Amino acid sequence: MAKEPPEGRGASSSPNGRSAIAQLLAFSGRRRVLTYLGCALSAVSMLVSFVPYVCIWLVARDLIAVAPRWEEATSIAGYGWVALGFSALSIVIYFGALMCTHLSAFRCASNMRKAATEHLMHTSLGYFDSHASGALRRVVDGCAAETEGLLAHKLPDTAGSVAMVVGMLVLFFVFDWRLGLACLAAVVVSLACFAKMMGGRGMDFMSRYMGSLVKMNKTGTEYVRGIPVVKVFQQTVHSFKAFYDAIQEFTELAQDYAVKWCQVPQSLSLTVINGVAAFLAPVVILLAPGEADFARFLTNFAFYAIFSAIVPTAMTRVMFISDALQTAQDSVARVSEVLAAPVIEAPAHPQRLADNAISFDDVTFAYEGGDQAALSNVSFEVPAGATVALVGPSGGGKSTAASLVPRFWDVDAGSVRVGGVDVRAMDPADLMDHVAFVFQANRLFKQSILENVRAARPSASKDEVLAALEAARCADIVEKLPHGIDTVVGADGVYLSGGEVQRLMIARAVLKNAPIVVLDEATAFADPENEARIQQAFRRLATDADGRPRTVLMIAHRLSTVVRADKIVVLDHGRVAEQGTHDELLGAGGLYARMWADYEQAVSWKISSTSGEVA
């Protein structure tokens, strides 16, 4: 089967000038034809369903004509069979219409999810730092799901409603135009009520409503992740202010719209369309005395009294399609925003690395929406095979600098070079193959230890994974697990400490066997015992399988972990304050020397066993 998501992706990426329906049909690919066919069948089904009403009029005509000699109305049974046959035919045609539109709708939702997911796979990793996973999940999955109802049900129902309205207007004026106008008055009043609810503020409400749903989904995800903290401090949902505020905002928004904006027009609309007889009765009373053919007039009245029951159905469908169309427009707009996210594109002629050195050349970078630059004119070198540490006060720009090496973000000025090549001139896949990461915030999948470590190199054998675990000093972790390397993390009460997770992350990096390693606060969650093992794992990670030194760029707050680094770069307020070896920086008496003095004082801190005072 040919790939269709790119067609939908391209359609939604350029939404200007295209309606939501056109963009959704573009996502359907070749199956959009089924949507057109389904709508046509739905219209035909609706027109066919009018035949039983005509049969009712014929039955009433014949009965009134021979009253009270009912036995002379011999055609009534025939009309009944015709009505039954056309009713069944209408149902069958409508069923076929829904089959067509559902096939198209499912393809549309599938392609929309694929297009958004595929685009996110090519988006810079930094994009996910500024966009919460809960909000993205809501857009990718929720918005796609909401479009199914429009294409599968609402769109064919709209085609049927259009056919219903047209047929209804025709029938209104076929038998008695005066009674038809009376029925039409109810339709006009109902449409005016819809315009009041859906127009202007109604359109603005739908946009705010969908935005509120996304916000509530995002904060809800954050709240679930923060439940352990909430429980530890015996707090309620009110303590998680963002989630509580999101719920309140959604509640007030929905109540305000329903009560203040829709209550009166909706009540009036429902009263009018369900009480068409109230419009018919006065007209009949006024016209009846002057009718020459009273029997025919009575027949027409009977027809309109029965046929008016179709008006609520027609108007309800119109109301639902208006709501569905607004939802679809908002969903398409939100998916389009995801598809417009900047991607890391491979250059037309990617350059190859000469070696594994890293260099920052006068780099300046600011986060989107930031008031000031996170890095300003930063320059330093990481020679091939060397270990360089980034240290400095919190917020100095250490993690930002490290994230620019694998191109999580692109610099605003200057350049980051790997092997003498600007990372923007490299194939992103090639760059990722050359860099391994160990972050301070790591995540294990709910899979076995084997599959978690193998994520770094899916083709690795079990023996290679075991070797990586051994190199990362994870043997004690594997030994204590009930099923060893095949134990599933998070299942059957199996959980690991922060330090143990860090060691597994190092095992991933070892297995990847990349020539460049970026370590971001890799000992942040380690206790003393785990830290000692992590340090041993670092020494193993610093060399590849053949014993050659890797290029290591590491970030640490614990200065003891960087003492043996080939060079230390001190970042402060996004600038390089100083750089050199541990001894050189101590001798310089600058920021690093002050940080080292503070560190030594902190590690010597203790509580006196005799007086209970802090020593």
223 falls in which pLDDT band (50, 70, 90)?
confident
Report residue 415 CA to chain centroid gap: 33
The 10s digit of each residue's pLDDT in 268-288 is 877 887 777 777 778 888 887
| 323/426 same-domain check | no
| Res 82: pLDDT | 92
Which range among 156-160, 227-231, 326-330 has the greatest average pLDDT?
Answer: 156-160
Instruction: Give the Cα separation of 281 and 287 in Å (integer).
Output: 10
Q: Contact 172/303 with Cβ under 8 angstroms?
A: no
Which range among 19-28, 436-445, 476-485 has the greatest average pLDDT?
Answer: 476-485
Residue 14 lies inside a defined structural domain of this protein: yes
Residue 613 lies inside a defined structural domain of this protein: no
| 374/230 same-domain check | no
* 142: pLDDT strictly greater than 90: no
Write down which residue in 339, 368, 389 finishes a domain. Answer: 339
Instruction: Give the Cα separation of 53 and 307 in Å (integer).
Output: 7
Residue 434 lies inside a defined structural domain of this protein: yes
Q: What is the DSSP letter of 477?
A: H
The 10s digit of each residue's pLDDT in 337-384 is 777 777 777 777 888 888 889 999 999 998 877 778 889 999 999 999
* 442: pLDDT strictly greater than 90: no
Residue 611 lies inside a defined structural domain of this protein: no
174-182 mean pLDDT: 79
| 62/210 same-domain check | yes
Which range among 46-55, 131-140, 200-209 has the greatest average pLDDT?
Answer: 46-55
| 172/68 same-domain check | yes
63-75 mean pLDDT: 78
Residue 527 lies inside a defined structural domain of this protein: yes
Residue 112 lies inside a defined structural domain of this protein: yes
Least confident of 76-90, 222-236, 294-308, 558-572: 222-236
Write down which residue in 307, 339, 371 finishes a domain. Answer: 339
| 369/324 same-domain check | no
109-113 mean pLDDT: 83
Q: What is the CATH number of the domain that holds 588?
A: 3.40.50.300
| Res 323: pLDDT | 65
Domain extent, residue 451, equals 358-603
Q: Contact 182/283 with Cβ under 8 angstroms?
A: yes
Tokens coding 441: 């915030």
* Pairing between β-strand 387-391 and β-strand 413-418 as defined by DSSP bridges: unpaired
* 93: pLDDT strictly greater than 90: yes
| Res 359: pLDDT | 93
Residue 491 lies inside a defined structural domain of this protein: yes
* 98: pLDDT strictly greater than 90: yes
- Selected residue with higher pLDDT from 429 and 146: 429
Q: Contact 416/360 with Cβ under 8 angstroms?
A: yes
Q: What is the CATH number of the domain that holds 80?
A: 1.20.1560.10
| 315/187 same-domain check | yes
Could you tell me which of 304, 326, 317 has the C-alpha nearest to residue 94?
317
| 322/389 same-domain check | no
* 39: pLDDT strictly greater than 50: yes
| Res 3: pLDDT | 38
* 34: pLDDT strictly greater than 90: yes
238 falls in which pLDDT band (50, 70, 90)?
low
Question: How many domains are contained in the chain?
Answer: 2
Instruction: Write the DSSP assignment of 151-195 as a string of letters.
Output: IIIIHHHHHHHHHHHHHHHHHHHHH-HHHHHHHHHHHHHHHHHHH
The 10s digit of each residue's pLDDT in 502-558 is 888 888 888 888 888 888 765 555 556 666 777 777 777 777 767 788 898 988 777
Q: Determine the Cα angle at 455 with ends 454 and 457, to 5°.
A: 65
320-345 mean pLDDT: 72
| 76/186 same-domain check | yes
Q: Quickly list H helices, 370-473.
A: 398-404, 428-434, 449-454, 462-471
Which range among 131-135, 202-206, 470-474, 581-585 has the greatest average pLDDT?
Answer: 581-585
| 414/274 same-domain check | no
Q: Quickly list H helices, 67-143.
A: 76-121, 133-137
Q: Letter for the amino acid at 47?
A: L
Q: Contact 554/522 with Cβ under 8 angstroms?
A: yes
Q: Determine the Cα angle at 41 with ends 40 and 46, to 5°.
A: 100
Report residue 358 CA to chain centroid gap: 36
Residue 349 lies inside a defined structural domain of this protein: no
Write down which residue in 311, 339, 367 finishes a domain. Answer: 339
For the chain, what's the residue count? Answer: 615
Least confident of 223-227, 570-574, 588-592: 223-227
* 100: pLDDT strictly greater than 90: yes
Contacts of 191 (CB under 8 A, 6+ apart): 315, 318
Question: Taking the model in full, what pTM does it have?
Answer: 0.58
| 492/582 same-domain check | yes
For residue 312, CA distances in Å to 167, 181, 191, 272, 601 come to 15, 16, 12, 9, 80
Least confident of 7-21, 536-550, 554-568: 7-21
| Res 13: pLDDT | 39
* 2: pLDDT strictly greater than 70: no
Residue 233 burial (10 A CB sphere; 0-12, 13-18, 19+): exposed
Provide the percentage of residues in the chain whose pLDDT is more than 90. Answer: 15
Please report, in angstroms and rounded to a whole number, the separation of the first and last CA atoms in the chain: 73
| 428/534 same-domain check | yes
- Selected residue with higher pLDDT from 2 and 357: 357
14 falls in which pLDDT band (50, 70, 90)?
very low
| Res 138: pLDDT | 66
Tell me the CB-side half-sphere exposure of residue 475, using CA atoms within 13 A. Answer: 6
Average pLDDT, the chain: 79
97-106 mean pLDDT: 91
552 backbone dihedrals φ, ψ, rounded to 5°: -125, 125
| 239/386 same-domain check | no
* 6: pLDDT strictly greater than 80: no
